[in-house]
Homo-oligomer: A and B are copies of this chain.
Amino acid sequence: MSRYGKRADLIVHEHEPFNVETCAAALAEGPVTATDAFYVRGHGRVPEIDPAAWRLRIHGLVQRELELSFSTLREAFRERQVIATLQCAGNRRAGLMAIRDIPREAPWGPGATGTATWTGVALAEVLALAGTLEGGAHVGFAGADECAEAEPAQRFGGSIPLDKACRPEVLLAWGMNGEPLPAVHGAPVRLVVPGYIGARSVKWLERIEVRTHPWHGYFQHVAYRLLPEDGTPGPGAGMPLGLVALNADVLTPADGETVAPGPVEVRGYAFAGGERSVERVDVSLDGARWSQAELLEDLGRWAWRHWRITLELAPGDHEILVRAWDSSAATQPEDEAALWNPKGYANNARPRVRVSARA
């Protein structure tokens, strides 16, 4: 067992702030990721918060400011559960770094993502109680975590459009997979924004602000923005990330693995992001003939789909190619190199793993 109750098989990118990635084998265990295997993307030291003293402040363009205790939040609103996939915008950055280095960014593989059952109350109901005023178009969130990497140093934060904030799936969550939310995942209360990059699901939530404009803090106005290949990161440069793009990856066999010739089961995930759903996953050994994988359990519109297919592998080296399709009939881009960007975000190229079939 490593720190914060995490399993020893997680891939540690950084100890402080704590940044760990779920290994593919753990993701392959099932469509709901075990809490002790769930990835952590931290930007500061994990804050220690006394739930009894904790207050959530709702202010900005509201009819009345609120300051809610943990017990009020749990008792005054209807408890909801949402199964949602979180995915870091840096997921699969390693693939981009293999093309050209990205200094000062962690080489996340395919495991900066996971799916959990989140328990909490709808942000929409809390906003309704506060009453949003005309001109409110975005909802900002500030956590308790001090982030030295930001310039200037500041607490983590971000915003989502008011329209999204009013959807029932956006939760103020205190439960994860049926247990109290662990400290490392944002206790006592975190935001969960299904379909959006993980950075918008602000942990250790302390403050909610209804605003006219998107969040102006470092983690939305400078970081978590997609730049052109030759762009320079800076305030307002590039497009802000928010909705997650269609993505997929192979969980087993591992890239570079040697397997026995004959039938080989291939498993992976596909995640549509936003409000879309995964409709088809194609798998190919030659990039020309594609077979459809079996889509496994449907956990609802906010969760990824796991999939599997059995391929017949002749002795020799193979490349397994995958492409997912979403409910808009969109598929993934082929060329990973064309997705390279200076901060290494949003790599959703078709995944490929190389395997050797040897008796």
Segment at the B interface, from A59-67, A148-156, A248-256, A273-281: A273-281
Contacts of A292 in B (CB 8 A): 228
Cα–Cα, bound, A169→B246 (Å): 25
Segment at the B interface, from A117-125, A260-268, A325-333: A325-333
Contact pattern, A 215-247, Cβ under 8 Å of B = 1, otherwise 0: 000000000001011100000000101111110
Shortest CB-to-CB span from A40 to chain B, Å, is 22
A181 interface contact, C-beta 8 A: no
What residue in chain B is nearest A227 (Cβ atoms)? Answer: B280
- Interface majority SS (helix, strand, loop, mixed), chain A: loop
Cα–Cα, bound, A331→B348 (Å): 9
Q: By the criterion CB–CB under 8 Å, are B334 and A246 in contact?
A: no
Cα–Cα, bound, A339→B282 (Å): 12
What residue in chain B is nearest A225 (Cβ atoms)? Answer: B329
Cα–Cα, bound, A125→B243 (Å): 28
A346 interface contact, C-beta 8 A: yes
Given A325-B239, A328-B244, A329-B241, A282:B228 Cβ within 8 A: yes
**What is the oligomeric copy number?**
2
Cα–Cα, bound, A346→B328 (Å): 9
Q: What is the interface of chain A, defined by CB distance below 8 A to chain B?
A: 226, 228-230, 239, 241-246, 273-276, 279-280, 282, 289-290, 292, 323, 325-335, 338-339, 345-346, 348
Q: By the criterion CB–CB under 8 Å, are A276 and B243 in contact?
A: yes
Q: What are 19 residue pairs bridging A and B, where the CB atoms are less than 8 Å apart in the complex?
A: A226-B329, A229-B290, A239-B279, A239-B280, A239-B329, A242-B328, A243-B328, A244-B328, A245-B328, A245-B330, A246-B328, A274-B274, A274-B328, A275-B275, A329-B346, A329-B348, A330-B348, A331-B339, A334-B335
What residue in chain B is nearest A239 (Cβ atoms)? Answer: B279
Contacts of A339 in B (CB 8 A): 331
Contacts of A282 in B (CB 8 A): 228
What residue in chain B is nearest A282 (Cβ atoms)? Answer: B228
